[in-house]
Amino acid sequence: MNPLAKELNEILKESVAYEMLSDFGKRIYFPKGIISQSAEAKQKAHTYNATIGIATEGGKALYIPSTKANFAANIDGEELFPYSPTAGELVLRKLWLSSIVEKNPSMEGKLTSLPVVTAGLTHSLSIVASLFLEKGQTILVPDMYWGNYNLIFSENREANLVNFPLFKGRGLHLEALSKAIDSTKDEVVALVLNFPNNPTGYTPTQEEAAKLVELLVSKAEAGRKLLIFTDDAYFGLFFEDDVCRESLFSLLCDAHSNILTVKGDAATKEEMVWGFRVGFITFNSKGMGEKHYEALVKKTMGAIRGNVSSCSKAAQSILIRSLKSESHQREKEAGIALIGERYRFLKECLYQYRDNPTLTPLPFNSGYFMAFECQGDAETLRMHLLDNYGVGTIAIKGRYLRLAFSSVDLDQIEDLVAIVYKGASEAFA
């Protein structure tokens, strides 16, 4: 094992994070090679910096003017063309942490790692999975989950993805989660919680969130070690008053020394910059200090370095400017309000079909999506809608049909719902 990996492991042995690391997670380290040496040179090489592999002119990155012309004229080339640090732009990492705390008051005064920049939420989950999951290890995931989990956890890491029912009636099935945790034989119980949920568009109510945290803490107090991934891809898109508006990461901050919570989030949806591919990883566990988080971040950096090397400098620079803009929050809230308006009108339209047995809407109160439980085969309905009406939907597990109201204009929603129900009556006849 590399001495640098051993050094990081020795630091982490004081924390629960060490017990949860995969074999890869224990072997990975951030090398003191070109990248770290270049970082040092950037701070100290005031005369000449002959370290990093880019072309420069006048001490700045050389660039093709016609490429830069595609960006706002007031953006300096130095914000666009050099490499970004492996962990991401420090300014952005600090800004993002500040924004997380602002949106999640329960985190105030609690110590977490500084977020690490990734190439989107998928990259975040993939990196964390490589750090903590072994081949054959169980990871608990609700039965309604984002299909990419299959590639990330099952195919990539060869973990054993075990489902538990997300819903009981019109709310969360907490008993099912409790039984799933108790049934897991692994020393570390790995769990993914994704709210607002993809594909259902459901977020726990405030009461449910409190009970969920209480459940997880009780398991930790009983001696179970919990590794909890909070997939917050759609965070902030809340459309009902009783919905919990804080991330479960926030509510679990410093909850118990047997719980390591990893927040995966992204500018992708929160800042409406889907193509930027800028995500983040943030760690927390009660009892972990600065040196533990620094060691975990360095392992994360090593995983990134051996994967994509570093993330987009241009996307991060533009995002930094956006987050600092005086009009940013107002413009963002206007976008969320637009999606919320579609959500409320969709609810009205669905109410007209409340007695129709062919499609039963699952609970939804947030996010981009809603899903139907189908009386017949969902794939058959999907193809029928596509072939006969030119309507695109997503079939899941042969039983559910997902609609993304986020991508349908307000004046199209009523017609969309009518077509889907009409198609269902035809496909399931």
Q: Is 396 in the same domain as 269? A: no
Q: Is 320 in the same domain as 364? A: no
Count structural domains, the chain.
2
Q: Is 335 in the same domain as 224? A: no
Give the whole-angstrom CA distance, residue 199 versus residue 227.
23
Q: According to the model, what pLDDT value does residue 72 have?
A: 72
Q: Is 210 in the same domain as 250? A: yes
Q: Is 172 in the same domain as 215? A: yes
Does residue 7 fall inside a structural domain? Answer: yes
Q: Which of 305, 324, 343 lies at the terminal end of a domain, its last residue?
A: 324
Does residue 423 fall inside a structural domain? Answer: yes
Q: According to the model, what pLDDT value does residue 65 have?
A: 67
Tens-place pLDDT, residues 266-311: 998 898 888 889 999 999 999 999 999 999 999 999 999 999 989 9
Is pLDDT above 60 for 259?
Answer: yes
Q: According to the model, what pLDDT value does residue 287 have?
A: 95
Q: Is 191 in the same domain as 102? A: yes
pLDDT band of residue 62 (cuts 50, 70, 90) is low
Give the whole-angstrom CA distance, residue 163 versus residue 229.
15
User: pTM value?
Assistant: 0.89
Q: Is 293 in the same domain as 355? A: no
pLDDT band of residue 39 (cuts 50, 70, 90) is low
Average pLDDT in the 235-248 region?
96
Q: According to the model, what pLDDT value does residue 56 have?
A: 53
Does residue 79 fall inside a structural domain? Answer: no
Tens-place pLDDT, residues 176-234: 999 999 999 999 999 999 999 999 999 999 999 999 999 999 999 999 999 999 999 99
Q: Which of 265, 291, 324 lies at the terminal end of a domain, its last residue?
A: 324
The residue segments making up the domain with residue 200 are 3-30+86-324
Tens-place pLDDT, residues 375-401: 999 999 998 998 888 888 888 889 999
The residues, ordered by sequence, that sit 6+ positions from 171 with a Cβ below 8 Å of its Cβ are 205, 208, 363
Q: Is 20 in the same domain as 105? A: yes
Q: SS3 for 333?
A: helix
Give the whole-angstrom CA distance, residue 11 versus residue 15.
8
Number of Cα atoms under 13 Å in the Cβ half of residue 260:
25
> What is the identity of the amino acid at 264?
G
Q: SS3 for 375?
A: coil
Give the whole-angstrom CA distance, residue 29 versus residue 3.
9
Output the average pLDDT for the chain: 90
Q: Which of 306, 324, 342 lies at the terminal end of a domain, its last residue?
A: 324
> What is the identity of the amino acid at 293?
Y
Q: Is 99 in the same domain as 163? A: yes
Average pLDDT in the 136-159 region?
92
CATH number for position 119: 3.40.640.10
Is pLDDT above 80 for 41?
Answer: no
Average pLDDT in the 162-189 region?
97
CATH number for position 398: 3.90.1150.10
Q: Is 307 in the same domain as 337? A: no
Q: Is 310 in the same domain as 377? A: no
Q: Is 290 in the same domain as 149? A: yes
Q: According to the model, what pLDDT value does residue 14 have?
A: 87
